[in-house]
Amino acid sequence: MTRYTVVARALHWIMAALIIANLVLGFAHEALPRDWGVMPLHKSIGLTVLALTVCRIVWRLTHRPPFLPKEMPGWEKSAAHVTHLAFYALMLVVPLSGWIMTSAGSRPLTWFALFDVPKFAVGREDALTSLAHESHELLPWLWSALLLLHIGAALRHHLVLKDDVLRRMT
Ligand code: HEM
């Protein structure tokens, strides 16, 4: 097998677009006018990412990805595996922490204004709410740094090493 399945490729690129959009919206939200509705959009995109992550984990566990090139050094394979594992953790923890944080507030939570999303039973002063707040502020920076590394590595394989690593996902 030389390529990822069509489902894995679709999930990868749709989620990449949604995650990058949400990092930008999250970092920029304070500078943007409130009446643009940036935060409701941010929350809806984030909940979509969480739902797609569950699908993606199920797909990943039931479908073996293509093997990495034999000539790839061991350290590089390990670095790729650790980064990918970190992405799965971030795709779960960042949206979940946003959801917990929002649950402690009084505003209703909807998915693209189409239906109400239930909230967790947490209060503003709960330890879980502060942990969620801290995580939601710090982890997106780690995520952005790992994304740059991931994109850099993919481009290096494609443009410098000229192997099939990026093409397997396109
Ligand atoms: C892919 C998923 C997500 C990403 C990448 C993401 C990213 C971010 C980023 C970068 C910030 C700015 C943090 C800062 O520097 O202050 C932020 C803020 C925020 N996010 Fe998310 N987020 C995601 C999902 C969610 C979800 C699912 C919700 C709620 C349902 C949510 C609610 C919020 C709220 C309320 C803030 C404002 C925090 C504040 O200003 O106090 N996020 N997010």
């061991």: which residue's tokens?
Answer: 74
Q: Is the CB of 19 under 6 A from ligand 1?
A: yes
- Residue 35: the pLDDT is 87
Q: Catalogue all structural domains in the chain, each as residue range(s) with its CATH number.
A: 6-169 (1.20.950)
Walking along the chain (170 residues) 10 residues at a time, the average pLDDT comes out as: 91 98 97 92 98 98 92 93 97 98 96 98 97 98 97 95 92
Query: Pick from 65, 60, 137: which is nearest to 97 by CA?
Result: 137
Nearest CA to 89 out of 48, 143, 37, 46 is that of 143
* Separation of CA 136 and ligand 1 centre (Å): 6
What tokens appear for 119 in the block?
A: 């909230």
Other C-beta atoms within 10 Å of 37: how many? 12
Cα 129 to ligand 1 centroid, rounded to whole Å: 13
